[in-house]
Amino acid sequence: MTSTFTLRRGLIAASVSALALCGMAGQALAQAKIPMRISTPAVPDDWHAKMWTVFKEALDKSNPNQFDVQINLNASLFKQGTEPAAMARGNLELSSISAFDIAKMVPEFSIFTAGYVVRDPQHQQKVFNGPIGEQLFKTVSDKMDVTVLSTIYLGTRQVNLREARNVRTPTDLKGVKLRMPGSKEWLFLGEALGATATPLAFGEVYLGLKTGTIDGQDNPLPTVRAAKFFEVTKQLVLTNHLVDGIFIAISNKTWNALSAAQKQSVRAAAQAAAQYNNENRIKEEGQIVDFFRQQGLQVTTPDVDAFRKAVQDTYAKSDYAKVWPAGLLDRINNTR
């Protein structure tokens, strides 16, 4: 005859194994989630940082429990500019890469690092969402082993100076130590603007401006606000020199392992993120100048035609232009 004691012991043992099984199943589920590590130098308050939450929410909604999206801001996972290599090595799944990052591996992409080529955010979307983008992104995938999912409007870059000065033409920037991100393509842009380009990682710019190791920096106005550069500078010169873009890209290793349905959801999430960023950033750019004036900054308009001419001439004469496919600049200009 089974004693009550033995019965109870049996029941306890059964529940313990059931719990253990549940635990294992839970663990298996967690392990089965596809990691989506994201790395970006963006500061939390900037639109291209917040857009990753939109990406995560969209993906968690369309594909519950399938992806483990991990957002790493402030370059806390990978240093600015090292993301493409990390993705190619399989240490990172997603990032937003710049035209400058791409140009290192796909030289013809340097056409988008040149000042005064892309006219405005609408032109940018048309160029990259049309046949030009399709063709170039195919080369990006072949050479960099990443797939571009959407085009993000980073904003229109402006010159931002530590001390105010009279800037009408590029000559007026002579000798100004203008911080640029650390690659030769970026430095070339700074020099084309007439300044002395000085390489520095984004995360070090605030201190550089504060201590005076640099005289200025260039970035879109929403970033000047989000990264608080306005606290340590006195002037914005509205050169409008680069309608800048970044591209949400995923490692091909990860991309190729997804099902067709998963690919569709990931692409849709990247497009939702782009839409969120683009709409908010364009709206903010339309209103932001007053904010800087209220903060005591001088906001000045230089002779933009003089900047455009100098920058375009410098690029036209450079080795960069030599590798631009024949007719590409005209095709970009004629995209409406």
For ligand KDO, the binding residues (CB under 6 A) are 40-42, 46, 48, 80, 98, 181, 202, 219, 223, 246
CB of 246 to ligand KDO, least distance (A): 6
Residue nearer to ligand KDO on the CB measure, 219 or 278:
219
Residue nearer to ligand KDO on the CB measure, 224 or 265:
224
Burial of 147 (0-12, 13-18, 19+ CB in 10 A): buried
- Write the CB contacts of 269 (distance below 8 Å, at least 6 apart in sequence): 54, 55, 56, 58, 59, 62
CB of 141 to ligand KDO, least distance (A): 20
CB of 103 to ligand KDO, least distance (A): 11
Residue nearer to ligand KDO on the CB measure, 202 or 320:
202
Distance CA(333)–CA(336), nearest Å, equals: 8
Distance CA(310)–CA(312), nearest Å, equals: 6
Count helices and strands in the chain by DSSP H and E runs: 14, 9
Residue nearer to ligand KDO on the CB measure, 116 or 202:
202
CB of 333 to ligand KDO, least distance (A): 23
Convert 27-46 to b/e letters by CB count within 10 Å (16 or more is b): eeeeeeebebbbbbbbbeeb
Residue nearer to ligand KDO on the CB measure, 40 or 240:
40
Break the chain down into helix, strand, coil percent, rounded to 5: 55, 20, 25
CB of 18 to ligand KDO, least distance (A): 48
CB of 77 to ligand KDO, least distance (A): 13
Distance CA(115)–CA(74), nearest Å, equals: 26
Residue nearer to ligand KDO on the CB measure, 145 or 244:
244
Q: Which helix (H) or strand (E) holds 140?
A: helix 131-144
Cβ distance 181 to 201 under 8 Å? yes
